[in-house]
A and B are shown apart, each in its own frame.
Chain A
Amino acid sequence: MSVATPPADLLGDGDPHDPASSGPGDGASTGRLGDRLFAGAARGSGLLIIAMVTLVGVFLVSQAVPSLADNHANFLTSRVWDVDGPTLRFGIADLLWVTVIVATVAMIIAVPIAIGVALFLTQYAPRRLASPFAALVDLLAAVPSIIFGLWGIKILGPYVLHAQGWIETAFGWFPLFSSDTTINSAGTIFLASIVLAIMILPIVTALSREVFAQTPNAHKEAALALGATKWEVIRTAVLPFGRPGVISAAMLGLGRALGETIAVTIIVSSLAGGTSWSWSLFNGGETFASRIANNAAEFDSPQKAGAFIAAGLVLFILTFIVNAIARVVIERRKAFTE
């Protein structure tokens, strides 16, 4: 009775101070060579992932800095993009505006619909049909973005062009809807937003569905016991419970929309250099991603590539922030519910 043997010694011959043998997990490692190698490989993969993200940042910064140092225009506020001449002059004002407005309008369209779809799938759809219906919406995520772009400009575009005409006539006094544009094709920011909205819909729906499905039955039953209608149950129990999850889902969708490349590249017509500024959604333009993609064939000098990499760096930082916010919101929710 008096002899207390440490469990680590019972299980193997390893050094109990070795982090791999007295594993921080369940203490099941034996400390033998196989265990140490395997644990090392697993940890190594984890470290490799940290290294990957760090390297992305480091490489982008290191390639962007020389070009930024040579830049003769203000990087943040300038609207010019001239990287062909002997002197580099480039700024991201236009890119930032188009990137943010495209993604924001896409969110305004997609998030309410995604919430509706998620409510339909979790609260309204017959139980037997709910999962096939959900799979149908998820299939939308399997369609490659180049197909969305192709379909958007060639098939959906003409219809949206009509709608734009009506909106211009009715709300043209509002700067976002003015006809103050230099393009007359369907390739507008507005069309890109609609297509992006369709593309982020399955992501936002899938995550919202997950949180709505977790609403505690006690909350819903309490509302029903008070005589609430189905809508009142949703408004008083389901939606408040799901709010952090929906916010985080929307942020993830926003992250996707900011970085979407080929669909936007195909759809939005680039403006000629020196075009005057317009607030209109019915204008063309380029996002960070589409500017880089449009010029991918011309990365011939490190200087020039550096300018585009600088734009890519801003996009990376933007999506990093948005995704980090999404994660923080969902973490806080976990802290409250568990």
Chain B
Amino acid sequence: MSILTADPPTAEVGDDQLTHRSRGRQVRNAAATVIVVACFLIAIVPLAWILFTVVSKGFHLLLDVHWWTNSQQGITARRVGGGAYHAIVGTLLQALVTAIISVPIGVLTAVYLVEYGRGKLARVVSFMVDILTGIPSIVAALFIYALWVTTLGLNRVAFAVSLALVLLMVPVVVRSTEEMLKLVPNELREASYALGVPKWRTIVLVVLPTAFSGIVTGVLLGLARVMGETAPLLILGPYAKSINTDLFNGFMAALPTMINQDRTEVLQPALDRVWAAALTLVLLILVLSIAGRIVARLGAVKQ
């Protein structure tokens, strides 16, 4: 039926009269090709440039074992040394708490949309997920500020940051889980129902395991998104130089705020640490998103 390939052979062979193309059309065709390829190259340049910058400026500090084991406590901008342990721990902890809250909400919402939802309510839920997808992180942070600090009168702590990040992570989990659940063949569900298995056990034991890799992918991509967010940290999670693992007390460092803290610094030791923290953050996020892609490829639902 469709024999369309990258280069349609029909255009080159055959009667010259039939396939004749005027010079102008050929030129326009060639120009389009050049422009389209150029667009792709232009798009790749910033990626390569950014990665080159963070690696070349930050790599040497990452080779030092102290970077991974020490905090910045007692280190001034003038002094060399210290590490990013406090910020790495903070970023991972906040991301973990965010995931613990977001994943059940996100997966159950996707189950609702695919397995149960019909009619108006489902359309409204779907629309609201879209709105959440587009919500700027600073607005999410302001909302949690209005709720947590102004209304409830609580302090700015890491847990509040996680709450703001939940708003940003849930839509990612919902959308990717939804896509995967739609791919699960209906025959699997019908076979299960035919054996008399209740619908909820069918979903938990048959549908969700089949879509498992897709759900994991969504969670990893969602984590990658929230780990790099800075706005909620600015508003809800002030930077601290020392290690703090208590989500409800005191300030907790995170990699984005560690970068933000010293980015206007002119002293070289502090600047080096800014780029090294940037590289650490990029590495964390790249590993997560590449892992997400690999899981997606390995466990894709086979039709």
**Are B131 and A323 neighbours in the complex by a CB distance under 8 Å?**
yes
Minimum CB–CB distance from B33 to chain A (whole Å) comes to 7
**Are B200 and A38 neighbours in the complex by a CB distance under 8 Å?**
yes
CB-CB contacts below 8 Å: A52-77 with B: 52-53, 55-56, 59-60, 62-63
**Are B29 and A229 neighbours in the complex by a CB distance under 8 Å?**
yes
**Are A39 and B230 neighbours in the complex by a CB distance under 8 Å?**
no
Q: Collect the chain A residues with CB atoms within 8 Å of residue B31's CB.
A: 231
Contact of A312 among B21, B142, B289 (CB under 8 A): B142
Q: Does B132 contact A (CB under 8 A)?
A: yes
Closest to B38 in A: A116
- Contact A49 B109, CB 8 Å, known A29-B199, A42-B116, A227-B11: yes
- Contact A258 B202, CB 8 Å, known A49-B125, A116-B35, A231-B32: no
- Contact A140 B43, CB 8 Å, known A29-B199, A52-B167, A230-B29: yes
Minimum CB–CB distance from A58 to chain B (whole Å) comes to 9
Chain B residues touching A, majority SS:
helix
**Are A315 and B130 neighbours in the complex by a CB distance under 8 Å?**
no
Counting contact residues on chain A (CB < 8 A from B), the size range is 35 or more
**Using a CB–CB distance below 8 Å, which chain B residues touch chain A?**
2, 4, 6, 8, 10-11, 18-19, 21, 25-26, 28-29, 31-33, 35-40, 42-44, 46-47, 49-50, 53-54, 104-106, 108-109, 111-113, 115-119, 121-122, 124-125, 127-140, 142-143, 145-147, 149-151, 167, 170, 174, 189, 193, 198-204, 224, 227-231, 234-235, 238, 256, 259-260, 263, 274-275, 278, 281-282, 285-286, 289, 293
Contact of A299 among B145, B200, B203 (CB under 8 A): B145
**Are B132 and A34 neighbours in the complex by a CB distance under 8 Å?**
no
Contact of A266 among B115, B121, B263 (CB under 8 A): B263
- Binary CB contact string for chain A from 263 to 303 against chain B (1 if under 8 A, 0 otherwise): 00010000000000000000000001100110011010010
**Are A142 and B46 neighbours in the complex by a CB distance under 8 Å?**
no
**Are B140 and A327 neighbours in the complex by a CB distance under 8 Å?**
no
Q: Collect the chain B residues with CB atoms within 8 Å of residue A12's CB.
A: 198
Question: Within the assembled complex, what's the spacing in Å between the Cα atoms of A136 and B286?
Answer: 11
Question: Within the assembled complex, what's the spacing in Å between the Cα atoms of A117 and B29?
Answer: 16
Q: Collect the chain B residues with CB atoms within 8 Å of residue A302's CB.
A: 150
Q: Collect the chain B residues with CB atoms within 8 Å of residue A41's CB.
A: 108
Minimum CB–CB distance from A112 to chain B (whole Å) comes to 8
Q: Does A240 contact B (CB under 8 A)?
A: no
Question: Within the assembled complex, what's the spacing in Å between the Cα atoms of A93 and B54?
Answer: 37
Q: Does A147 contact B (CB under 8 A)?
A: yes
**Are B39 and A117 neighbours in the complex by a CB distance under 8 Å?**
yes
Minimum CB–CB distance from B45 to chain A (whole Å) comes to 9
Contact segment of A80-88, A160-168, A216-224: A216-224
**Are A231 and B109 neighbours in the complex by a CB distance under 8 Å?**
no
Question: Within the assembled complex, what's the spacing in Å between the Cα atoms of A52 and B151?
Answer: 16
Closest to B48 in A: A136
Q: Collect the chain A residues with CB atoms within 8 Å of residue B49's CB.
A: 151, 155-156
Which of A28, A123, A305 has the most chain B CB within a 10 Å cutoff? A28
Minimum CB–CB distance from B190 to chain A (whole Å) comes to 9
**Are B231 and A53 neighbours in the complex by a CB distance under 8 Å?**
no
Q: Does A9 contact B (CB under 8 A)?
A: no
Q: Collect the chain B residues with CB atoms within 8 Å of residue A55's CB.
A: 143, 147
Which of B38, B53, B231, B285 has the most chain A CB within a 10 Å cutoff? B231
**Are B116 and A319 neighbours in the complex by a CB distance under 8 Å?**
no
